[in-house]
Amino acid sequence: MSYFKVNEHCNGCLACVQNCPANALDYLDQGGKRRLLHNMTLCARCGNCWRVCPHGAVEFQHLLHGQWDEVVTMDLVTCMVCGDPLHTVDLGKSLGEKLTREVNPLCPRHRRAQSFMVWKQLSPDKGTAGEAGL
């Protein structure tokens, strides 16, 4: 996915490539095709490409208001009472190695409450886990 987008007026003249001060634009002529390349890690978002394009083809708004990229997906631990997300499973493991006792996954609200009340709510003879209402 590229944040550097051009519209149908781009004719591959390479004005943007030649005038990019950060060398964030490049091109590849191969197999009878010209491909315009953009490297976001080099891009300073200075607007020079948009400024010098003789055809008004650079859609610079995509470099000002881009979208979020997903970086990584991890499993979550949730509060055993209300189900609110607490932390990742991996973070829980890292912290667990440093603790001398097991800590129940509880959100701040339910951790403040008396723990036996929580257990009472979760105990089999009281039914399934749910809102403790503490």
C-alpha separations of 11 from 34, 61, 82, 85, 89 in Å: 10, 20, 57, 50, 50
With H, G, I as helix, E, B as strand and everything else as coil, classify residue 16: helix
Helix (H) or strand (E) holding 29, with range, is strand 25-30
Least separation in angstroms between residue 40's CB and another protein is 14
Please identify, using beta-carbon distances, which residue of 45 and 87 lies nearer to another protein: 45
Q: CB of residue 50 vs another protein: minimum separation in angstroms?
A: 8
Q: Which residue, 41 or 73, has its beta carbon nearer to another protein?
A: 41
Question: CA 24 → CA 1, 13, 107, distances in Å?
Answer: 15, 16, 45
Determine which helix (DSSP H) or strand (DSSP E) holds 26, and give its type and residue range. strand 25-30
Q: Which is nearer to another protein, 61 or 94 (CB)?
A: 61
**Least distance in angstroms from the C-beta of 60 to another protein:** 7
Phi, psi of 24 (to 5 degrees): -90, -5
Q: Which is nearer to another protein, 58 or 81 (CB)?
A: 58
Name the site residues for another protein (rule: CB under 8 A).
Answer: 13-15, 18-19, 45-47, 50-52, 54, 60-61, 63-64
**CA-wise closest residue to 9 among 63, 66, 61, 50:** 50
What is the closest distance, in whole angstroms, from the C-beta atom of residue 98 to another protein in the complex?
24
